[in-house]
Structure 1
Amino acid sequence: MKRVLVTGADGSIGRAAVQGLQAAGYDVIGLSLRYDHTSTADRPLVGDARSAKDVAAALDGVDAVLHLAAIPHPSLGTPEEVFENNVAATFNVLAQAGQAGIARVVIASSINAFGVPMNVNEVEPAYYPLDEDVEADIADAYSLSKSVDEQSARMAWRRWGTNVIALRFPLVKTREDLFRFAAMAERDPSMMAREGWAYLDLRDGIRAVIAALESSAAGAHVVGLAADDILIDRQTSDLLHEYASGVPLRRPVRGRDGLVDTTRAQELLGFKPRYSIHDEEDQVVSAVTT
């Protein structure tokens, strides 16, 4: 695998992915509706991930695809716009890749794919830690779009034999931005309770992307991601007692243990997060445990 197409190449994860892939030795074609930042992609293209023509042209000479293009929050459009954009873009990218015979596509799903975190109703997760099989309860267009994207991945595998990994990203930010989000969550821990106060350092997000692109796993797989700990500097058990006392806990938690089960990421991709917001700057968790 030499050349990767990154859609949504001008987004926050997209820009980091382009640079991370290049640092790992890949040539990168970037596709974005527009570029508000200078792109380092080897070939930056302006185009729409919903356009068969634009995507087919961008796929020329490509070995794998990282699909990140999406409206990333339900507040950034009407429900119709969010759902139609996200679902159409993902299906089109998968279809064009499948018809081109590209064997590996990685798509950005979300922790919201099971619907509970953004649900307008008073609902809670069926259990903690969250895993890829947790029961869904969807009441917003964004979460629905991500759930459908995962179904589209399964369809692409069955129709074209395209190997697809859908990464369920939690909050993914730079370390600096994570501190800002942590400060807000400290003031009101309830705002992140239904997603288990989950987060992922952007550097680990890019490591997960590369691991998924380089995986030899056949089929279509949904993979949950998160740091090993929670965003808030409090004991996980105390937060659960205060904000999610009715949610069953499937395994004991200690200290700031995270509430997303990342077993599949470890077993399927060989991926384990390195970075924690609670460590010293750039200290890796693995350095403590190995």
Structure 2
Amino acid sequence: MAEPPRRVLVTGAAGRVGRATLDLLAREGVPASALDLRDPGDLRADRVVTGRADDPEAVREALDGVDAVIHLAAIPAPTLGTPKEVFLGNVGATFVVLEEAGAAGVRRAVVASSFSALGLPWAARPLHPAYVPVDEALPPQVEDPYGLSKQVDETTAAMMARRHGMTVVALRYPLLGGPGDRLDERAAGYAEDPGRGASELWTYLDTRDAARAAWLSLVRPIEGFTVVFVTAPVTLAPQPTEDLLARFHPGVERRAPLPGRTAPVDLTAAETLLGFTADHLYEPVAAEEAS
């Protein structure tokens, strides 16, 4: 492990993963600074700055005393703003946070990318991956402003790693949540109609595991820029993965067997680079129970 950071800035700190990340940092005994559009008053951070992540002045204030950054602030779906707002807001925030962090001497950063960087989840028509299990080398097929913003975020992160000599990890998160959160509703929907999850390959990750992946990205011996898929090793659907793929992604090349509910994602990089495997697995309802 690398030496733990002395203070971590978490952007988007009031969101699902932001709160889970602040909780984890508190357990690790690492002081945290938080940046968000508003201060809800209950964040586990001893410094809270309110402002936009694409505002250099707010970011510089939030970076005071920080030596590592976990950048989570984003508009998380193309439906939550105009195409211009979603794309420019996300890429602007990532550029500003990493540029200001690099200029301030920060040398470790994590950015929240997304499974959507592949282009499948928000496409207006059904798309199919070139092969499964998908991995970090899979060619993207982006047709939406959110997926494009995440693709550009990854390119920006790679540039910033070169520009400032930083280590930057882009984590491709899938659907995030927890029991009692939206995972319950989504799992029930997949049991009733598995086609609802085809564009995301039925993947998910508990927010607590998402936070741990970000922490490991800061402390593992990694250099330069890297992209890593982090998902649960099993799907959120009750049906066997091979059956789901045959039905909703027929003809897609299979590069490895996917027994049971194995997630069709190659998690080698997460395991080898980050030492990460998900701890919190969701047990979906059986298909017959949902009907």
| Bigger shift: residues 132-141 or 28-37 | 28-37
Match of 1:258 in 2: 263
The one-letter code sitting in structure 2 at the alignment partner of 1:277 is Y
Match of 2:53 in 1: 49
1:61 to 41, 61, 65: 65
The aligned runs of 1:40-119 (5 Å cut-off) are 40-119=44-123
Matching of residue 268 in structure 1 with residue 273 in structure 2: yes
2:220 to 202, 215, 220: 215
Q: Separation in 2 of the partners of 1:203 and 1:7?
A: 17
Measure how far apart 1:266 and its partner are. 0.8
Match of 1:166 in 2: 170
Once the two structures are superposed, residues 162-216 of structure 1 have per-residue CA deviations (whole angstroms, 9 ceiling, x without a partner) of 1100000001101222122101122221122122110011121111111111122
Q: Does the Cα contact within 8 Å between 1:17 and 1:206 map onto a contact in 2? A: yes
Matching of residue 13 in structure 1 with residue 17 in structure 2: yes
Measure how far apart 1:37 and its partner are. 5.8
Q: Does the Cα contact within 8 Å between 1:10 and 1:37 map onto a contact in 2? A: no
SS at match of 1:175: coil
Match of 2:289 in 1: none
Once the two structures are superposed, residues 225-269 of structure 1 have per-residue CA deviations (whole angstroms, 9 ceiling, x without a partner) of 111101011111111121112211110111111111110011111
Aligned length in residues: 279
Q: Separation in 2 of the partners of 1:153 and 1:63?
A: 17
Q: Separation in 2 of the partners of 1:123 and 1:238?
A: 18
TM-score (norm 2): 0.93
Q: Does the Cα contact within 8 Å between 1:5 and 1:58 map onto a contact in 2? A: yes
Give unpaired runs (5+ residues) of structure 2: 285-291
Measure how far apart 1:36 and its partner are. 4.0
The one-letter code sitting in structure 2 at the alignment partner of 1:151 is T
Match of 2:139 in 1: 135
Measure how far apart 1:28 and its partner are. 0.5
Give the ranges of 4+ consecutive aligned residues of structure 1 lying more than 4 Å apart after TM superposition.
Answer: none
Match of 1:33 in 2: 37
Q: Separation in 1 of the partners of 2:257 and 2:44?
A: 45
Give unpaired runs (5+ residues) of structure 1: 280-290
Matching of residue 176 in structure 1 with residue 159 in structure 2: no
The one-letter code sitting in structure 2 at the alignment partner of 1:131 is D
The one-letter code sitting in structure 1 at the alignment partner of 2:106 is I
SS at match of 2:186: helix
Q: Separation in 2 of the partners of 1:184 and 1:28?
A: 37
Once the two structures are superposed, residues 41-85 of structure 1 have per-residue CA deviations (whole angstroms, 9 ceiling, x without a partner) of 111111111011111111110010000000001110000000000
Q: Does the Cα contact within 8 Å between 2:113 and 2:153 map onto a contact in 1? A: yes
Q: Separation in 1 of the partners of 2:54 and 2:276?
A: 30
SS at match of 1:172: strand
Q: Separation in 2 of the partners of 1:122 and 1:175?
A: 29
Q: Separation in 1 of the partners of 2:220 and 2:95?
A: 22
Measure how far apart 1:218 and its partner are. 0.4
Q: Separation in 1 of the partners of 2:120 and 2:248?
A: 15
Q: Does the Cα contact within 8 Å between 2:120 and 2:126 map onto a contact in 1? A: no
SS at match of 1:234: coil
Q: Separation in 2 of the partners of 1:95 and 1:263?
A: 30
The one-letter code sitting in structure 1 at the alignment partner of 2:178 is T
SS at match of 1:166: strand
Q: Separation in 2 of the partners of 1:60 and 1:123?
A: 44
CA RMSD of aligned residues (A): 1.2
